Chains A and B, each alone.
Chain A
Amino acid sequence: MQLSEILRMAFGSLAVNKLRSILTMSGITIGVFSVIGVMTTVAALRGSIESGLNILGSNAFQFQKFPSGFNTGNNMRKYRLRKNITVEQGQRYQKLMEGVAEVVSLELYDFGGGGTQATYENRKTTPDLTFGGGNQHYLAANQYAIDTGRNFTESDVELARPLCVIGVGVVKKLFPTEDPLGKSIKVRGRTYTVIGVLAERGTSFGQSQDDIIIVPISRFAMEFGNERQSLNIATQALSQEVYNETLDKAITAMRIARGLKPEDENDFEVFSNESLIASFAKVADAVAAGSFVISGIALLAAGVGIMNIMLVSVTERTKEIGIRKSIGARQVSILTQFLIEAVTISLIGGLVGIILGVVAGNGLAVWMKASVIFPWMWAGIGLLVCSGIGVGFGFYPAWKAAALDPIEALRYE
């Protein structure tokens, strides 16, 4: 007999017990939803990060006290015990790197807690500005461009002038109608004169990149102290060809600047775009593995649910099976009929789970400013697994139905 007939029969009997079928499907839906949702989010984020993550710019690497935020946890104590990288060390490093790399950006951020807010007259910015100190290379190293006004000069940094460049987010709040250039704004009780406005960058991972105020690093260190925060140093190699060479020289320079003895370990972290992507990938893999385990358990439970409902169905339909056998249904026809029913429950449940998971995962991805994707591979795997569950857990009930004795089955009331 044709598959289309079996399918029609399967849909027919599933439609008879709509609520029961839907409840059984929902188990599969939940299991598939969770894994597809997580996979969609992770894949979307990964895609955006791999194509769009250029925090450091090309051919750039960064020195920092702590490893990247993605994999903190295990050795935090070891990192915390390290001495902060000071502005003086940064400047020494910069000197050593003269002639090797042109762009050496020294960055110090305000992690003072409570967030930073800037004011001008009676207007206020959002309370969670990025506020930091940088040198003349800060903008280049962080992919910012000047829209109006100018960048810091070397002498601005050397003389620790109270100047600042601001993002358009700050401009919108503080200078809705005026020209900000030359105006004095207040940040953390200090006054800075606006010399430049940055070109708009938009948001990345839910954080606006235009709510930013940067002042000369020397000024920042002078006013907010050098002890509490550790310096980030971004260095850009002249070209891809000399990247590794530059990195080697830079590590040597950094060890000298930090005053390390030859036998000491590096007491700073080095990372690049590649290492950031790699460490994100590590986290993504861990999340994926976790969601696999949880979904696996959920799907197993759902599979047991399918088996249960199919066993009930076989018992309820004993008479029907007897009738079908008496008019010539072969064992394989009965087996296929019940197997297809189980697979149909499982596949429909899985399909709904995939749709919900993709929608929810992309929703989350969009919220985090990543681009929308459709995880074809995971959807395919999901459907395959669902068919497997349907066949695996549906087989015993279907076999039980197929093996019924026609006389006994006909007599069943």
Chain B
Amino acid sequence: MTPPPAPAVARTVRPPGPLVIEIEGVTKLYKMGSETIHALLGVALKIHRNEYLAIMGPSGSGKSTLMNMLGCLDTPTAGRYEFNGKHVAAMSDDELAEIRNKEIGFVFQTFNLLPRSTALANVELPLIYAGYAAHERRARAIEALENVGLGNRMHHKPNELSGGQRQRVAIARALVNRPSIILADEPTGNLDSRTGVEIMELFEQLYDQGNTMIVVTHEEDIARHARRIVRLRDGLIESDRPAGD
């Protein structure tokens, strides 16, 4: 099986907007028994609105830790993290939950849909936590599902959908609250290559629609879709340059 070729056509590069994420000197230590693991050793990164960024690195490079940090699922041991100008490192769990709800749209490798809920209910969930009324929730969830091409499968449960469709539901869920960034963790990792290409095409579309995309991956072919690639190694940023360079 050959990996899908990177798009040959010249791609749009939208001018970067205002700063969304700024981290500086971020370190993260884990205690595992008596051992201390240094997952991040002073990372600095700036991400602007309208960027399409890939974060790459082999396993153990600290890219999962960085993603959790960017996604406000975790806070750094030391260092500064500002999200839209707000200091995230000092936030309480509930404040982090609010950022995750309103500002970040997660797309996971394993989709992470609620298995017993329909596609529509899954997409509505972030809006429930955001406190929207039922009719507005429904309208926005339907719109998000239509946007990813699943307008006709809204009432199916995840086990009645293909892998690609499930990932589309997850993407709709990520988009539905109009977040500042879409944060995708190996979004094609559980998909066959053809479906993977479709999902990456969808990402391209979303980027063109004005979304800020951050994709964490270890696959060069996926990273090549981005406009900028950040490479991590041993808890440090090894390189940070435009894709194709």
Interface residues of A (CB under 8 A from B): 1-2, 5, 12, 16, 319-320, 322-333, 406-407, 410
> Closest residue of chain A to B99, judged by CB?
A328
> Closest residue of chain A to B103, judged by CB?
A328
List 15 other contacts, CB 8 Å, given A406-B73, A407-B73. Answer: A12-B117, A322-B112, A323-B112, A324-B125, A324-B129, A326-B106, A327-B125, A327-B129, A327-B173, A328-B97, A328-B98, A328-B130, A329-B101, A330-B94, A332-B94
B90 within 8 A of A: no
Interface residues of B (CB under 8 A from A): 68, 71, 73-74, 93-94, 97-98, 100-102, 106, 108, 112-114, 116-117, 125-126, 128-131, 173, 177
Q: Which of B112, B128, B177 has the most CB of A within 10 A?
A: B128
A12-B116, A16-B116, A326-B106 are known contacts. Are A331 and B131 too (CB-CB below 8 A)?
no
> Closest residue of chain B to A334, judged by CB?
B97
Contact of A320 among B74, B100, B114, B177 (CB under 8 A): B114
Say how far B43's CB is from chain A's closest CB, in angstroms.
18
B129 & A333 in contact (Cβ 8 Å cutoff): yes
8 nearest interchain CB pairs? A328-B101, A328-B129, A330-B97, A327-B126, A328-B100, A323-B112, A330-B94, A406-B73
Contact of A330 among B108, B117, B129 (CB under 8 A): B129
Question: Which residues of the partner chain A approach B74 to less than 8 Å between Cβ atoms?
Answer: 407
Question: Which residues of the partner chain A approach B131 to less than 8 Å between Cβ atoms?
Answer: 1-2
Question: Which residues of the partner chain B approach A16 to less than 8 Å between Cβ atoms?
Answer: 116
Question: Which residues of the partner chain B approach A333 to less than 8 Å between Cβ atoms?
Answer: 129
Question: Which residues of the partner chain A approach B97 to less than 8 Å between Cβ atoms?
Answer: 325, 328-331
Say how far B9's CB is from chain A's closest CB, in angstroms.
34
Q: Please name 7 pairs of A and B residues whose Cβ atoms are closer than 8 Å in the assembled complex, sorted by A.
A: A1-B129, A327-B126, A328-B177, A329-B129, A331-B94, A407-B68, A410-B112
Say how far B214's CB is from chain A's closest CB, in angstroms.
15
Say how far B179's CB is from chain A's closest CB, in angstroms.
10
Say how far A171's CB is from chain B's closest CB, in angstroms.
71
> Closest residue of chain B to A6, judged by CB?
B128
> Closest residue of chain B to A328, judged by CB?
B101
Say how far B42's CB is from chain A's closest CB, in angstroms.
21
* Docked CA distance A320–B114 (Å): 6
> Closest residue of chain B to A329, judged by CB?
B129
Q: Which of A5, A323, A329 has the most CB of B within 10 A?
A: A323
A327 & B101 in contact (Cβ 8 Å cutoff): yes
* Docked CA distance A151–B163 (Å): 97
* Docked CA distance A330–B108 (Å): 20
B116 & A1 in contact (Cβ 8 Å cutoff): no
Say how far A153's CB is from chain B's closest CB, in angstroms.
85
Question: Which residues of the partner chain A approach B113 to less than 8 Å between Cβ atoms?
Answer: 323
Question: Which residues of the partner chain A approach B108 to less than 8 Å between Cβ atoms?
Answer: 326, 410
> Closest residue of chain B to A13, judged by CB?
B116
* Docked CA distance A331–B131 (Å): 15
Question: Which residues of the partner chain B approach A327 to less than 8 Å between Cβ atoms?
Answer: 100-101, 106, 125-126, 129, 173
* Docked CA distance A327–B157 (Å): 19
Say how far A400's CB is from chain B's closest CB, in angstroms.
15
A332-B94, A410-B112 are known contacts. Are A326 and B73 too (CB-CB below 8 A)?
yes
Question: Which residues of the partner chain A approach B129 to less than 8 Å between Cβ atoms?
Answer: 1, 324, 327-330, 333
B100 & A326 in contact (Cβ 8 Å cutoff): yes
* Docked CA distance A328–B174 (Å): 11
* Docked CA distance A327–B101 (Å): 5
Say how far A402's CB is from chain B's closest CB, in angstroms.
9
Question: Which residues of the partner chain B approach A326 to less than 8 Å between Cβ atoms?
Answer: 71, 73, 100, 106, 108, 112
> Closest residue of chain B to A323, judged by CB?
B112
Say how far B155's CB is from chain A's closest CB, in angstroms.
15
* Docked CA distance A354–B107 (Å): 48
Say how far B188's CB is from chain A's closest CB, in angstroms.
18
* Docked CA distance A12–B101 (Å): 23
Say how far A330's CB is from chain B's closest CB, in angstroms.
5
> Closest residue of chain B to A325, judged by CB?
B97
Question: Which residues of the partner chain B approach A330 to less than 8 Å between Cβ atoms?
Answer: 93-94, 97-98, 129
Say how far A332's CB is from chain B's closest CB, in angstroms.
7
Contact of A323 among B68, B71, B93, B114 (CB under 8 A): B114
> Closest residue of chain A to B93, judged by CB?
A331
> Closest residue of chain A to B173, judged by CB?
A327
Say how far A202's CB is from chain B's closest CB, in angstroms.
59
* Docked CA distance A330–B94 (Å): 5
B128 & A5 in contact (Cβ 8 Å cutoff): yes
* Docked CA distance A16–B126 (Å): 22
Say how far B111's CB is from chain A's closest CB, in angstroms.
10
Q: Which of A320, A325, A327, A331 has the most CB of B within 10 A?
A: A327
